[in-house]
A and B are shown apart, each in its own frame.
Chain A
């Protein structure tokens, strides 16, 4: 095809203009990588060398000392487990509940469905931060302060995700499901064996998005956990930063430990994340 050919042609042509663009992109890339690179470099320095001026990327020796000390201090492994547990549970529950609800809204008819859906859509406008005071009071009453469920449950019912999935289901032709109905399959079978597998890409997008935002959530876990044993990684780090004294290298080692899992997730699922952000992001913010 001619369009493909011109596309290829453009790909290969190295005009001066394109070099300028490349230079600009590289410059921006360097600027964006520098802070992370600096954190990494600092974390490998021997204790006390982070504050040396002028700036040196390498310390007098390359050492895992800071990592060892941070790990031996004990809490960070525990927080990592908490964060992973909370993120995985939240993701599973969110995907399950939102997919079921979206299927219900998209594919069933009952009195009051439209009203319920409007109530759910209205929730997209409510930032969870606005509810911090009443939600915390509710958690006190339910006895869920300092529990995993206290962190998980308020993050599970995400109206924006229902909206995204309803849009998706609305776009899927009903013929497959109807054929299954004719064959005598029940509602649940159709949902589990046809609809869910068919929706794998969008469910993956919703799931990854949920996982990342739960892993990164700060305010709610910060409010609802007071016991250091129950803290998530970001909350724990912020809480104990003073107890590191002025050990910058250890601080950066914990920063790297806290940030690394998501960077690994990104490298593994780059395609899904990029697509997920492009689609989920526009609808859900």
Chain B
């Protein structure tokens, strides 16, 4: 493999044209590596690495939105952020949303996958109804719930309650007691399909012979679920859980559209505070500092995920 000559055409000039000179297969493997990588890497450097680095620089300055008129202030922005009650309250809102949404999103996804896997028919119907909402833009979700599901009295949610004889008139998005829960409900409805599909794929990869053996041993359906399915899904659950936590922490769109962070900032997530500081408050240096604090949180969770997936790789 390493020394097979592949071309006998003599090279007229010592140019870099591969076909024009004797090359080996070995050589082919080493050719052009950078050329293949360069277009991606340049874009990556320009629109991810550079803002990542320049953001650190900005977070140490007091710049406004256009990047002008500021000066170097050291860690002042970070010190201010750590003492800013808005940072802590929006961080807490983010974490509270993550806590409230993760468990139902993972459990509902699991239940849906179990149901559809057990039924083994009209799969398209389950996929369409449970996964389709995931494909809709956040703008559509936000407006749908804001305009026709959650309004008091005539909204669909209130009318549904009235149909069951319950008292309508709930301020789903305007009452501090319910706003976050309403956002969680809408989010579960919107994104659970993703977890459903991940679980479904995992279920389909469980070897069938395990169930057959259990059936021969006289194990009932509940027993098979409890002692085969659930343990076999443990690894998937770990991955789904971490992915869900990461996704929930990044919440912004639906809150911004449905409540704008209200009532009284009670649903405002940290990303919205970053947006407000930088884009409506024009303090882009401060906004950068806050977003790096948030980034630190994401990195911690991601590292946990990395550990999990590495362990997955080892045991696989």
Contacts and interface: CB of A to CB of B under 8 A. Distances in A.
Contact of A108 (B32, B54, B136, B215): B32
Contact of B47 (A156, A215, A248, A281): A156
Contact of A100 (B18, B36, B160): B36
Given A104-B36, A187-B32, A136 B137 contact: no
Contacts of A72: none
Interface in A61-94: none
Q: In this complex, which of B44, B127, B200 has the most chain A Cβ atoms within 10 angstroms of its Cβ?
A: B44
B232 interface: no
A235 interface: yes
Nearest to A98: B40
Interface in A128-153: 128-138, 140-141, 153
Interface stretch (B85-93, B117-125, B174-182): B117-125
B115 A28 contact: yes
B137 A233 contact: yes
A17 B221 contact: yes
B103 interface: no
Nearest to B236: A282
A183 B28 CA distance: 12
Interface string B33-76: 11111011101101111111011001000010111000000000
B6 interface: yes
B7 interface: yes
A201 to B, nearest CB: 15
A194 interface: no
B118 A219 contact: no
Interface in B17-32: 18-19, 23, 25, 28-32
A29 B32 contact: no
A107 B139 CA distance: 41
A35 B288 contact: no
Main secondary structure of the interface of A (DSSP, over half): helix
Contact of B7 (A105, A184, A234): A184
B115 A7 contact: no
Contacts of A127: 246, 250, 295, 298
B263 to A, nearest CB: 18
Size bracket of the A interface:
35 or more
B257 interface: yes
Contacts of B96: none
A127 B300 CA distance: 13
Contacts of A200: none
Interface in A39-55: 39, 42, 50-55
B294 A130 contact: yes
The secondary structure that dominates the B interface is helix
Interface string B126-144: 1111111101111110111
Given A156-B43, A182-B6, A116 B250 contact: no
B58 A32 contact: no
Contacts of B151: 51
A186 B116 contact: no
Contacts of A124: 302
Given A251-B143, A259-B137, A104 B33 contact: yes
Given A123-B48, A153-B43, A255 B119 contact: no
A39 B51 CA distance: 40
B64 to A, nearest CB: 10
B145 interface: yes
Contact of A133 (B43, B136, B284): B284
Size class of the contact patch on chain B = 35 or more
A178 interface: yes
Contacts of B95: none
Interface in A187-203: 187-188, 190-191
A172 interface: no
A205 interface: no
A259 B25 contact: no
Interface string A170-185: 0000000010011110
Contact of A25 (B6, B33, B115, B291): B115
B164 to A, nearest CB: 12
Nearest to A28: B112
Interface string A203-231: 00000000010011011000100000000
A154 B252 CA distance: 19
B136 A262 contact: yes
B310 interface: no
A178 B2 CA distance: 11
The 8 closest A-B pairs by CB, nearest first: A234-B139, A108-B33, A104-B36, A101-B40, A134-B55, A278-B201, A157-B44, A55-B159
Given A3-B208, A129-B271, A181-B23, 5 more contacts: A18-B118, A140-B66, A153-B47, A216-B137, A258-B139
11 contacts: A3-B208, A51-B151, A120-B41, A132-B271, A134-B58, A140-B65, A159-B48, A162-B40, A187-B28, A241-B143, A278-B197
Interface of A: 3, 6-7, 10-11, 17-18, 21-22, 24-25, 28-29, 32-36, 38-39, 42, 50-55, 96-98, 100-101, 103-105, 107-110, 113, 116, 119-120, 123-138, 140-141, 153-154, 156-157, 159, 162, 178, 181-184, 186-188, 190-191, 212, 215-216, 218-219, 223, 233-235, 237-238, 241, 248, 251-252, 254-255, 258-259, 262-263, 265-267, 270, 273-274, 277-279, 281-282, 285
